């Protein structure tokens, strides 16, 4: 087996999962053009979009730009309990993004009933 030259990557930082989507060729064309504008691969561009979406939802654990959970960072539930005003502001911002994308507000039960939704607790 041939190994590509380059810097050694920490095992914890290796991306092991693959995501495959079936999409219309017109969407691929748009994504490719936007990726080209940013001088990045289409795959890296889509990954950046997904990471940004996950980071915008305050119910999710904190992740870095590669999508890896940030260790020793308080869980979303802990953050909500520590500073409900800050959590509320983050929720309001997420709700705006959600409404822009989906044409309706995010379901209130997602934040009103945190025990029923994943807040990064294992």
Query: What's the pLDDT score for residue 77?
Result: 87
pTM for the predicted model, two decimal places:
0.83
Query: What's the pLDDT score for residue 15?
Result: 79
Per-residue pLDDT tens listing for the chain (122 residues): 666 677 777 777 777 888 899 999 999 999 999 999 999 999 999 999 999 999 999 999 999 999 999 999 998 888 888 999 999 999 999 999 999 999 999 999 888 887 766 765 65
Helix H, strand E, coil C: the string for 48-116 is HHHHHHHHHCCCCCCECCCCCECCCCCCHHHHHHHCHHHHHHHHHHHHHHHHHHHCCCCCCHHHHCHHH
């Amino acid at each position: 087996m041939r190994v590509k030259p380059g810097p050694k990557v920490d095992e914890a930082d290796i991306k092991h999962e693959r995501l495959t989507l079936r999409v219309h060729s017109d969407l691929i064309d748009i994504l490719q053009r936007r990726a080209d504008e940013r001088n990045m691969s289409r795959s890296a561009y889509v990954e950046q979009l997904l990471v940004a979406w996950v980071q915008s939802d305050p119910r999710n654990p904190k992740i870095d730009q590669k999508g890896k959970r940030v260790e020793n960072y308080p869980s979303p539930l802990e953050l909500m309990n520590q500073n409900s005003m800050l959590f509320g502001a983050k929720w309001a911002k997420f709700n705006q993004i959600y409404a822009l994308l989906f044409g309706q507000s995010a379901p209130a039960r997602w934040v009103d009933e945190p025990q029923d939704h994943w807040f990064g607790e294992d």
